[in-house]
Copies of this chain bind each other. A is one copy, B any other.
Amino acid sequence: MKFIHTSDWHLGRQLHGESLLEQQRLALAQIGALAVEHQVDALIIAGDIYDRAIPPASAVTLLSEFLDELIEKHKIQVLITSGNHDSAERLGFAAKQMRSSGLHMVGSLSLPLTPIKLHGKQSDAWFYPISYAEPAVVRHALADDTINSHELAMKALLEQVTQHDSENLPKVVVAHCFLDGSTESESERPLSVGGADRIAPALFAPFDYVALGHLHGPQYRGVEHVRYSGSPLKYSFSEATQKKSVTLVELSTGKAPTIKLLPINTGRDVRIIEGNLADLLVRAKDDPHADDYLMVRLSDTHALLDPMGKLRSAYPNVLHLERTGLMAQQQQRDIGRDRIKKGELEMFSDFFEQVAGEPLSAAQQQHLHHLLDELHQGEDA
């Protein structure tokens, strides 16, 4: 059984107001090509296929076309579980009518859990998909009042399949949860506040592979085969240094799984650049990836006229600007009245110079100084 494990596609997501649909289309095309190239038997998507309960119609169409390509054209099975961003009910629509085609959509939690046997060219394997569910939902479904945490909910669900007779075939859990000790990114919506969403990795020990979703950085906890694939795209600047990939997994009875990360690269990266405005504008000329999605940290300590406009003329996809230089300066400053006045004078001088192309004359400076004094006297009155 050879499959690609991925998760957190968040189709329909925006990055700082910018649609990522075309990047997602490119990422899906790469994942499809990798699936075909490596002749996998299945693609496993561990939740958050969409970014929200009601995704835009364009995201629905994108996924539908991808499934047509993979399933109808290349005969690769697809298993999708719902994550905390998805609407489990909507994702599960007509799931039974899709099964015979090789598409397994696992929507709302339905108990007892139904193991799915996927056919492989070399050997088959059993999959135990567990849709994301709040502890309260599991508590109600199992009529067990002691289930008051994500860990107890997962433990109860796993007990349903641990004893399943897999006919000596490999056993794979697919789940969407937060393993204790894992590394978060800013783009994940917390499952619960105050750490109540943490699950001990040891719960998953009895399985041959555990395909997890929720965290956007690829990682494993405890043992190498209990792992997050991470998202195929960077969905926040906190992921700027992550290397995005999907996980190629090969399972054979009685052997440790073979695991390999296959990089995903859509050509437009999400990066953070730092420097002063003038230097950055010069550097843009030699930057072959000036159209990446950028957060810019400007070190300039004086006022700047329309820095975003100037940056975007060189880097068209600047999405966020931080004035780190000004912030640092501000932190050092006393906040006395005189300092504030001086601040205003300096700021206006900088502004004037940028607009007029020459500094304030001595007379102009004198005039401005009087004006500011008058204004502040007015405040005191």
Question: Which A residues are within 8 Å of any B CB, using their own CB?
Answer: 53-54, 57-58, 60-61, 63-64, 67-68, 71-72, 87, 89-90, 92-103, 105, 108
6 contacts between A and B (CB under 8 A): A58-B89, A72-B96, A72-B97, A93-B93, A97-B98, A97-B102
Establish whether residues A97 and B90, one from each chain, have CB atoms under 8 Å apart when the complex forms: no
Establish whether residues A94 and B100, one from each chain, have CB atoms under 8 Å apart when the complex forms: no
| A54 in complex: contacting residue of B54, B103, B108, CB < 8 Å | B54
Give the docked Cα–Cα distance between A103 and B100 (Å).
Answer: 12
Minimum CB–CB distance from A201 to chain B (whole Å) comes to: 33
Give the docked Cα–Cα distance between A102 and B100 (Å).
Answer: 11
Establish whether residues A60 and B90, one from each chain, have CB atoms under 8 Å apart when the complex forms: yes
Q: Which residue of B lies closest to A72 (CB)?
A: B96
Q: Give 7 A-B pairs besides A54-B54, A100-B101 with Cβ atoms closer than 8 angstroms.
A: A53-B57, A61-B89, A67-B97, A97-B101, A98-B98, A98-B101, A100-B100
Q: Which residues of B contact A93 (CB under 8 A)?
A: 60-61, 63-64, 93
Give the docked Cα–Cα distance between A98 and B90 (Å).
Answer: 15
Q: Which residue of B lies closest to A68 (CB)?
A: B96
Establish whether residues A98 and B87, one from each chain, have CB atoms under 8 Å apart when the complex forms: no
Q: Which residues of B contact A58 (CB under 8 A)?
A: 89
Give the docked Cα–Cα distance between A102 and B95 (Å).
Answer: 13
Give the docked Cα–Cα distance between A100 and B58 (Å).
Answer: 25
Q: Which residues of B contact A63 (CB under 8 A)?
A: 93
Minimum CB–CB distance from A284 to chain B (whole Å) comes to: 39
Minimum CB–CB distance from A209 to chain B (whole Å) comes to: 25
| A94 in complex: contacting residue of B57, B98, B108, CB < 8 Å | B98
Q: Which residue of B lies closest to A61 (CB)?
A: B89
7 shortest interchain CB distances as A-B pairs:
A97-B101, A57-B89, A97-B103, A97-B98, A64-B93, A61-B89, A60-B93
Q: Which residues of B contact A89 (CB under 8 A)?
A: 57-58, 60-61
Q: Which residue of B lies closest to A55 (CB)?
A: B90
Q: Which residues of B contact A53 (CB under 8 A)?
A: 57
Minimum CB–CB distance from A105 to chain B (whole Å) comes to: 8
Establish whether residues B90 and A57, one from each chain, have CB atoms under 8 Å apart when the complex forms: yes
Q: Which residues of B contact A54 (CB under 8 A)?
A: 54
Q: Which residue of B lies closest to A64 (CB)?
A: B93
Q: Which residues of B contact A98 (CB under 8 A)?
A: 94, 97-98, 101
| A64 in complex: contacting residue of B94, B100, B101, CB < 8 Å | B94
Q: Which residues of B contact A100 (CB under 8 A)?
A: 100-101
Q: Which residues of B contact A68 (CB under 8 A)?
A: 96-97
Q: Which residues of B contact A87 (CB under 8 A)?
A: 57
Give the docked Cα–Cα distance between A90 and B60 (Å).
Answer: 6
Give the docked Cα–Cα distance between A103 and B64 (Å).
Answer: 16
